[in-house]
Amino acid sequence: MTAHQQLKQALLAGKLAHAYLLVGGSEEGRRAEAIYLATALNCRYLQGGEPCGSCHSCRQMAGGNHPDFYLLEPRGTNLKIAQIRELEARLALQAFQGGVKVAVLAGADTMTEAAANCLLKTLEEPPEGTYLILLAAQPDPLLPTIRSRCQEIHLEGAMAISQAGTGYWARLVAADLPVIMEEILPELEKEADLPAVLTGMALACRDQLVWQLTGSATLLLKPGEPPTPFLAPSRLWACFWTIQDTLAALEHNANHRLALEVMMFKLYTQFSGEAIHGGEPSPA
Ligand SMILES: [Zn+2]
Per-residue confidence at 204, pLDDT binned at 50, 70, 90?
Answer: confident
pLDDT band at 277 (very low <50, low <70, confident <90, very high): very low
Q: Nearest 5°: phi and psi at 242?
A: -60, -45
Q: Tell me what the mean pLDDT of segment 66-94 comes to.
A: 94
pLDDT at 181 over 90: yes
Q: CA 199, 166, 235 angle in degrees (round to 5)?
A: 75
Domain covering 160-273 in this structure, CATH number: 1.20.272
ipTM surpasses 0.95: yes
Res 159: pLDDT: 46
Residue 280's pLDDT is 42
Residue 226 has what pLDDT?
62
User: What is the Å distance from ligand 1's center to 186 Cα?
Assistant: 34
Distant-in-sequence, close-in-space partners of 89: CB < 8 Å, separation ≥ 6: none
Residue 183, pLDDT above cutoff 50: yes
Which CATH number among 3.40.50.1110, 3.40.30.10, 3.40.50.300, 3.30.70.2190 corresponds to the domain 3-155? Answer: 3.40.50.300
For residue 135, how far is the Cα from the chain centroid?
12
Residue 160 has pLDDT above 60, yes or no: no
Higher pLDDT, 282 or 205: 205
Structure confidence at residue 111 as a pLDDT band (50, 70, 90): very high
Q: Give ∠ CA 47-52-57 in degrees, rounded to 5.
A: 130
d(CA 12, ligand 1 centre) in Å: 15
Q: Which amino acid is at 29?
A: G
Cα(265)–Cα(271) distance, rounded to whole angstroms?
Answer: 10
Section 51-66 average pLDDT: 93
| Mean pLDDT on 43-68 | 93
Q: What is the mean pLDDT of residues 137-151?
A: 91
Instruction: Please give the pLDDT value at position 279.
Output: 41
| pLDDT on residue 276 | 43
**What does the pLDDT average to over 38-67?**
94
Q: How far is the CA of 147 from the centre of ligand 1 (A)?
A: 31
| pLDDT at residue number 227 | 63
CATH 1.20.272 residue spans of the chain: 160-273
How far does residue 220's CA lie from ligand 1's centre (Å)? 20
Q: What is the mean pLDDT of residues 241-255?
A: 89
**Overall average pLDDT of the 183-205 stretch:** 90
Task: Tell me the pLDDT of the chain averaged across its residues.
Answer: 87
DSSP state letters, 87-122: HHHHHTSPPTTSS-EEEEETTGGGB-HHHHHHHHHH
Cα separation, 248 vs 253, in Å, equals: 9
Report the separation in Å between the CA atom of 68 and the middle of ligand 1, taken as the mean of its atom positions: 14
125-129, 185-189, 231-235, 244-248, range with the lowest pLDDT = 231-235
pLDDT at 267: 94
CA of 61 to the centre of ligand 1 (A): 9
Stretch(es) of the chain classified as CATH 3.40.50.300? 3-155
Per-residue pLDDT, 158: 46
DSSP secondary structure letters along 5-70: HHHHHHHHTT---SEEEEEES-HHHHHHHHHHHHHHHH-SS-BTTB--S-SHHHHHHHHT--TTEE
Ligand 1 midpoint to CA 54 (Å): 5
Banded model confidence at residue 228, pLDDT cuts 50, 70, 90: low
Q: What would the DSSP string read from start to end of 136-153?
A: ES-STTS-HHHHTTSEEE
Q: CB count, 10 Å around CB of 94? A: 11
How far does the centroid of ligand 1 lie from the alpha carbon of residue 48, in Å? 12
Task: Determine the distance separating the centroid of ligand 1 and the alpha carbon of 203, expressed in angstroms.
Answer: 17
The SS3 call for residue 225 is coil
